[in-house]
Amino acid sequence: MGSFAVLVFTPALCAVVLICLLGPRDVHRWTFLFQMSWQTLCHLGLHYTEYYLQEAPSTRFCITLSSLMLLTQRVTSLSLDICEGKAEAASGGIRSKSSLYEHLCKALPYFSYLLFFPALLGGPLCSFQRFQARVQGPSSLYPRHSFWALTWRVLQILGLECLKVVMRWVVGTGAGLTDCRQLQCIFVMWSSAGLFKLTYYSHWILDDSLLHAAGFGPESDQSPGEEGYISDADIWTLETTHKISLFTRKWNQSTARWLRRLIFQQGRTWPLMQTFVFSAWWHGLHPGQVFGFLCWAVMLEADYLIHTRANLFIRSWPMWLLYRTLTWAHTQLIIAYIMLAVEVRSLSALWLLCNSYNSVFPTVYCILLFLLVKRKHKFN
């Protein structure tokens, strides 16, 4: 990161200071406001470089922003743990008479958690309690098990990288959104989103391998689906599900759980919309991200109603198989549409996507959502 590392060290230091000074009731509100304000200022710097100066941002600055977003996850997770009584507060508040040395001793575990090296690069979100237990307790890794687990992950990464080479060739030699014609645009969208997916899968497995090698993988007596350990890359479920709701829960699972706990469970009105709006804010509020996450929220609402209604009426096995096939294809195409919208950086590219035949797929779900909501109100 070079000198940009100051942008990560500063909020980490300020977060620990706030945790040490504030009581459990106030710590989450103030750390959340400070961390998101700091991250937003850094994202505005990226916007200034990309949209106003029309220049490519520094690679080091982009890496710093990525680490800063992961730091935000840990800061807010820690403050929520303290607020809910799951983690011990560093002090009794501002009036605490502890010495400076005692404050520093209590703050050291928070520093080590927030600046944990593998977590700054990526990987599933690890709670403060689990981090502390794994650091203080004896290692539960068995060398043979660890070796074979890491070997399997390396093979998965190599396979994904080979698929990326093929998909990159397909995307590079074919037409783009600017020169595709009619139904050809659907293939362009699917192949481009497939390349993005393969990149995410490869990075998630690599991050997971790094945490596993550092001793923070799943315990020997714990399955990967339990609360303590969450693997972000459930590729089979993501590629075979016919429900947008299941895809949403499984896509980057640790971040999905963090968003559910931080926003969805705290929201009283429109919690789903609040969650996706905050997700767009956390990602940087690029135009494509705002459009993509709002579209995702609407598609998720439609998905709930469509599948609830279908479960009531579809009884025969052939109809169920046809329904599963059509909804799988439609779900994958809608996800590809959302992913392409989120990944594009220019308004012109976003406009090309919205003006293409690809917009038919989310439009169908929007129409079904309107009809089902109207029918539901009429029935009530």
Residues labelled catalytic: 252, 283
The closest of 165, 167, 185, 163 to 175, measured between CA atoms, is 185
Q: Concatenate the DSSP letters of all residues of 237-296 into one string.
A: HHHH---HHHHHHHTTHHHHHHHIIIIITT-SSSHHHHHHHHHHHHHT--HHHHHHHHHH
The C-alpha angle 136, 138, 143, rounded to 5 degrees, equals 135
Q: Alpha helix (H) ranges present in the chain?
A: 6-21, 24-47, 59-83, 100-114, 117-121, 128-136, 143-173, 184-213, 235-240, 244-250, 253-259, 271-283, 287-313, 317-343, 347-355, 360-379
Q: Which residue has the tokens 């080590």?
A: 112
How far apart CA 126 and CA 227 sit, in angstroms, is 10
How far apart CA 20 and CA 93 sit, in angstroms, is 7
Burial tier of 137 (Cβ tally within 10 Å: 0-12, 13-18, 19+): exposed
Residue pair 114/71 in contact (Cβ under 8 Å)? The answer is yes
Dihedral, CA of residue 105, residue 70, residue 243 and residue 369, to nearest 10: 110
- Cα 110 to Cα 40, 104, 105, 107: the distances in Å are 23, 10, 10, 5
The closest of 292, 288, 253, 257 to 276, measured between CA atoms, is 292
The closest of 233, 81, 84, 223 to 152, measured between CA atoms, is 233
